[in-house]
Amino acid sequence: MKYADEFRDKEIALGLARAIQAEANPKRPYRFMEFCGGHTHAISRYGLEDMLPQNVRMIHGPGCPVCVLPAGRIDMAIRLAERPEVILCVYGDLMRVPGSQGGSLLRAKARGADIRMVYSTIDAIRIAEENPGREVVFFAIGFETTTPPTAVMIRIAERKQLENFSVFCNHVLTPPAMLNILESPDIRNIGRVEIDGFVGPAHVSIIIGTAPYEFFSEEFGKPVVIAGFEPLDMMQAILMLVRQVNEHRHEVENQYRRAVSRDGNLRAKEEVSDIFELRDRFEWRGLGLVPYSGLKLKRTYAKYDAEVRFEMNELKIADNPACECGAILRGVKKPVDCKLFGTVCTPETPMGSCMVSSEGACAAHWTYGRFRDHQQRRAS
Amino acid sequence: MKAHQRKLDIKNGCVDLSHGSGGRAMSQLVSGLFHEAFGNEWLARGNDQSAFDVGAGRMVMTTDGYVVSPLFFPGGNIGSLAVHGTVNDIAMAGARPLYLSASFIIEEGFRFSDLKLIAESMGEAARDAGVHIITGDTKVVERGKADGLFISTAGVGVVPEGLDLSSEKARVGDRVLVSGTLGDHGVAIMSKRQNLAFETEIVSDSAALHDLVARMVAAAGSGIRLMRDPTRGGLAATMNEIAQQSDLGFRLQEEAIPVKPGVAAACELLGLDPLYVANEGKLVAVVAPEIAQSVLLAMRAHPLGRDAADIGEAVADDHHFVQMATSFGGGRIVDWLSGEQLPRIC
């Protein structure tokens, strides 16, 4: 497959693996957090852990928008979808995300709620045009990457004068979550693991550019390497991080130069800031309330804001107390350290955020990597 | 005096509730459309059942339901799919398929012209496979109670003397063979879904595999432990089932697994993994290592096994993991599919 196979080449991968092996100082640990679920998935899907030396460890961050969506927001969506006039349009991976009391959009659909799986925002617009007598709501979710398409959709709805269309906005921001991981007060309760550097987001950075990460490298003295989602991108980024650590540098470096610039996509950023504004705080599953980490529609666009239009009440559902997602998302614990992992919490019946989508740390380990736990047990 | 009856207007007409009511209209639909398409001596006798002779040896029986959406897709339709799917379930026992039944649940308003096309491709698929559709049933339900047409089938076949393929028979050291490229059917269906139209040249691999199976059995004798057709859940589901049933694990080589570039690209775009996508004309065989090469050659000599490949081996593993060496150089598991990947694929 052109433009994909080139970035999955085994020989180049082995070359990078040898370079990491040669350059990583065996006397010290290297703990790098990949923020994005896309990176977590690539690590597991291609088995990158097998290609890294023992002392280079990847910590899986909270960058999976489906995973970090709190149960309360799912319950809000279910209540909305249960209204007879509403057609709720969602991306497929949201369907199984657990709300409270074993509820999910999939179950709500089975009980009769009109929930449609869509592949793009354009599908939601089309459904609204085809069903003028119904209220069509798009369940908008995602980081900076998926926010511009939602903005464009609202522009289209405006232009087409669609009166039956609105958005349930759950867009969140990357930098506030990274900040939260590094300096949240919660971290004192659950301990903290030293992070030696970040693999920065791929698609998010296409939109926001590399500049927003300069704060992290300066303020916290952490190297950041923006990397693409292909496995070779990851390997090269890890090598770049190892070099920065060895040379006591903490800079923002851009491995993903074929797509990411310093300033990002100006047009997209402009569209987003025209239509959205910051929420004071937004709840993340596993991280709790994170200040200035979510977006909502500006008052000018309130008619497209489902929360306003349907007077939706904010619902708060506590995470399962035995769930270790908060600690796992911060790298303090590994999936296998959680009592729920693989027992009551599996991809079929996820309890915590990390098990929800294949990009979550627990689901990725369960689906692709759990054979290593047994190998290690046998070896020890 | 014979009552006058207007001929079925195949071109413009459609099924109404009277076509399922047991009266003249139903009889006309059955004889004018289904018998015409399936034409054989058993149906011609018009009984509520069909009698056939039972040969020596063991017989196999299977049943299957078809709810694929859309009904027509590149490389086939629900009719040909129903025949191929049922024939293949029989063939996976190493059996020769003989007779099928077909039951139709039709939504009021379904066009005769579409029904005729579907019945004709069923008849054609059956003739090509050398099986007969010898009994059937027709029901019509109100508009909105079925999505156009559902078909259920049953099939019987006979197993050659001395052959006993079964899912618990894989042994450590056995080789895993697949008969060709994976994921073609699922991607062909996806490419025609209403909300997901994308252009691809991929056609469904829907095909009857019993002839390929017969060649493999002829080449290998009893060295074949088991065969499965990896339909829903794809290769991943099939390998996990065999691992459980045979109480072992598998180690696969990603590089060896054949996937068409177009299928790989479509999966990349949709976020799917070809190992989990349905096939309707492929089989997986677990065979004794000493005969793997000769079976593989026999497969490659058959048009439906041209791209056959040896993709891995059975290993001892209490956890029944299906492990895979990725083509990138690392390792992973190929786990069960969780949740629903593609609804109504067959």
DSSP assignment of B121-140: HHHHHHHHHT-EEEEEEEEE
CB distance B261–A1 less than 8 Å? yes
Tens-place pLDDT, residues A89-142: 998 888 888 888 888 999 999 999 999 998 888 999 999 999 999 999 999 999
Nearest-neighbour CA in chain A from B275: distance (Å): 12
The predicted model gives B235-261 an average pLDDT of 97
Percent of chain A's residues with pLDDT above 90: 63
Establish if B198 touches chain A: CB-CB under 8 angstroms: no
Other residues' Cβ atoms within 10 Å of the Cβ of residue B163? 15
Of B264, B332, B335, the CB nearest to A47: B332
Tokens, residue A108: 């709500």
Percent of chain B's residues with pLDDT above 90: 78
CB distance B319–A347 less than 8 Å? no
CA distances B233 to A75, A345, B266, B279, Å, are 30, 22, 17, 9
Q: In terms of C-beta density within 10 A (0-12 exposed, 13-18 middle, 19 or more buried), how is residue A251 classed?
A: middle
Contacts of A321 (CB under 8 A, 6+ apart): none
Q: Lowest-pLDDT range, A30-34, A135-139, A180-184, A346-350?
A: A180-184
CB distance A49–B330 less than 8 Å? yes
The predicted model gives B163-178 an average pLDDT of 96
CA distances B248 to B173, B175, B267, B316, Å, are 10, 13, 29, 5
Establish if B290 touches chain A: CB-CB under 8 angstroms: no
CB distance B323–A371 less than 8 Å? yes
Supply the pLDDT for residue A216: 83
Measured in whole angstroms, how far is the alpha carbon of residue B212 from the centre of its chain?
14
pLDDT of A347 higher than 90:
no
Please give the model's pTM, rounded to 2 decimal places: 0.88
Pairing status of strand A115-118 against strand A86-91: parallel
User: B335 contacts in A (CB within 8 Å)?
Assistant: 366-368
The predicted model gives A172-198 an average pLDDT of 76
State the Cα–Cα distance between residues A150 and A297, nearest whole angstrom.
Answer: 10
State the Cα–Cα distance between residues B68 and B118, nearest whole angstrom.
Answer: 13
CB distance B195–A118 less than 8 Å? yes
Q: Lowest-pLDDT range, A136-140, A228-232, A242-246, B336-340?
A: B336-340
pLDDT of B293 higher than 80:
yes
Tens-place pLDDT, residues B46-57: 899 999 988 778
Mean pLDDT over each residue of chain A, to the nearest integer: 91
Establish if A3 touches chain B: CB-CB under 8 angstroms: no
Question: Which range, A330-334, A358-362, B244-248, has the best average confidence (pLDDT)?
Answer: B244-248
Pairing status of strand A224-226 against strand A197-200: parallel
Establish if A118 touches chain B: CB-CB under 8 angstroms: yes
State the Cα–Cα distance between residues A285 and B146, nearest whole angstrom.
Answer: 40
Nearest-neighbour CA in chain A from B236: distance (Å): 12
Other residues' Cβ atoms within 10 Å of the Cβ of residue B292? 20
Tens-place pLDDT, residues A243-271: 999 999 999 999 999 999 999 999 999 99
Cis ω before B303 (30° cut-off from 0):
no
pLDDT of B119 higher than 60:
yes
Three-point CA angle B228, B231, B237, nearest 5°: 75
Supply the pLDDT for residue B194: 59
State the Cα–Cα distance between residues A74 and A98, nearest whole angstrom.
Answer: 7
Place of tokens 């990078």: A16
Q: Across the A/B interface, how many CB contacts are shorter than 8 Å?
A: 72
State the Cα–Cα distance between residues A214 and A212, nearest whole angstrom.
Answer: 6
Compute, in degrees rounded to 10, the torsion defined by CA atoms A10, A13, A19, A21.
Answer: -90
**Local structure of residue A324 (DSSP, 8 states):** -
Establish if B195 touches chain A: CB-CB under 8 angstroms: yes
The predicted model gives B254-262 an average pLDDT of 95
CB distance B195–A119 less than 8 Å? yes
Residue B176 near residue B314, CB atoms below 8 Å: yes
Supply the pLDDT for residue A193: 63
Nearest-neighbour CA in chain A from B346: distance (Å): 19
Tokens, residue B141: 């339900």
CB distance A231–B328 less than 8 Å? yes
Residue A378's pLDDT band (boundaries 50, 70, 90)? low
Nearest-neighbour CA in chain A from B66: distance (Å): 21
Residue A78 near residue A139, CB atoms below 8 Å: no
More confident residue, A376 or B246: B246
Of A4, A48, A347, the CB nearest to B268: A4
Supply the pLDDT for residue A202: 94
Q: Which amino acid is at B218?
A: A
Establish if A315 touches chain B: CB-CB under 8 angstroms: no
**Helix, strand, or coil here: B338?**
coil
Tens-place pLDDT, residues A16-64: 999 999 999 999 999 999 989 899 989 988 999 899 999 999 988 888 8
Mean pLDDT over each residue of chain B, to the nearest integer: 92
User: B265 contacts in A (CB within 8 Å)?
Assistant: 1, 4
Instruction: State the best of B190, B328, B333, B336 to mutate against chain A, taking most chain A CBs within 10 Å.
Output: B328
pLDDT of A2 higher than 80:
no
Establish if B323 touches chain A: CB-CB under 8 angstroms: yes
Over its C-alpha atoms, chain B yields an Rg (Å, rounded) of: 21
State the Cα–Cα distance between residues B326 and A336, nearest whole angstrom.
Answer: 23
Supply the pLDDT for residue A190: 55
pLDDT of A186 higher than 70:
no
- Residues making up chain B, counted from first to last: 346
User: A10 contacts in B (CB within 8 Å)?
Assistant: 327-329
User: B268 contacts in A (CB within 8 Å)?
Assistant: 1, 4
State the Cα–Cα distance between residues A310 and B196, nearest whole angstrom.
Answer: 30
CB distance A371–B329 less than 8 Å? no
Of A46, A347, A374, the CB nearest to B319: A374
User: A372 contacts in B (CB within 8 Å)?
Assistant: 331
Establish if B154 touches chain A: CB-CB under 8 angstroms: no
The predicted model gives B265-284 an average pLDDT of 91
**Helix, strand, or coil here: B340?**
coil
State the Cα–Cα distance between residues B162 and A217, nearest whole angstrom.
Answer: 71
pLDDT of B196 higher than 70:
no
**Helix, strand, or coil here: A46?**
coil
CB distance A8–B328 less than 8 Å? yes
Establish if B265 touches chain A: CB-CB under 8 angstroms: yes
Contacts of A353 (CB under 8 A, 6+ apart): A62, A64, A67, A68, A69, A285, A286, A319, A325, A329, A360
Least CA distance to B323: which residue of chain A? Answer: A371
Nearest-neighbour CA in chain A from B253: distance (Å): 12
Establish if A53 touches chain B: CB-CB under 8 angstroms: no
Supply the pLDDT for residue A192: 60
Establish if B331 touches chain A: CB-CB under 8 angstroms: yes
Tokens, residue A33: 């957090």
Residue B147 near residue B231, CB atoms below 8 Å: no
Q: Which stretches within A111-202 are classed as H helix?
A: 121-130, 147-159, 174-183, 186-190
User: A4 contacts in B (CB within 8 Å)?
Assistant: 264-265, 268
pLDDT of B1 higher than 60:
no
The predicted model gives B154-161 an average pLDDT of 95
Supply the pLDDT for residue A356: 81
Place of tokens 């990390």: A354
Tens-place pLDDT, residues B209-218: 999 999 999 9
Q: Which amino acid is at A289?
A: L
Supply the pLDDT for residue A301: 97
Residue A176 near residue A316, CB atoms below 8 Å: no
